[in-house]
Structure 1
């Protein structure tokens, strides 16, 4: 295998799960998520400079996948989306949460509006900071913090708990 093919294969292996999850939370079905993951990596094949810089490459993949999902959702044949009930099973590449409470939280996150779901997902599940999310999404950092705050508030209302003032976590 030529060196260029090996570099892309390693890049793909490092990031395919992240891209798939981003597509899946937006598209809400496996076939579309797989198609858009493939399309994202086809575009990445044309950008060899991405393969070397992991942080930039990962951010580029997330933005590209998100944009492809937005475009697909706007298309006329995507007028109705089927809701998924069991997100743990549906996101098979993700390790299932160890308890029912975490599963309930993941389901609640998946039901958030896209603007909140994306920032909550990137912050809590992918580990990006609000500054990094702002750069990835091309938004102001204050906007990202506001979206995180509103998303947490909506999650808290959905899950029936009041957020702690300091941590933003649900009180028991």
Structure 2
């Protein structure tokens, strides 16, 4: 991607007033402002987050979280490659926290190259509709355990408390619910 904000990152001098301040040269590969940092990096950070979470709302929230987390410790005088490396490390941390909260596991690897432009338009594969249909066909307790675990992102322990059952019982319910949902989905596809 051609840098859209190249003009904002070019070397410039800080003007001095008659107070005797000396002029300071900012290196050409650094950013002129936080806004320039954001504009130059938001596209690839969003693309990365969307690629990891697969939906716009979470990707947008996580992108904002990356920039919010990076704002305070990131030096504006850092070079563009240093800024990208720091944002990438911050994205890894934000994703790890997201997946730990959502699924109870940390996923901290970010593979491959980062795309500079986000996916254009996202095609509805019908998966969301089919998932709703499958959930509707499940018995109440099975549907409830899956909703608690995978839609609300609760841990097994939290889901068990919400259902008023033991953790072991919640694990059994989840296993049986997933097995039944799989059978219902296969039957609906064929």
TM-score category by the smaller chain? 0.3 to 0.5
TM-score (norm 2): 0.38
TM-score (norm 1): 0.42
Whose helix fraction is larger, Structure 1's or Structure 2's? 1
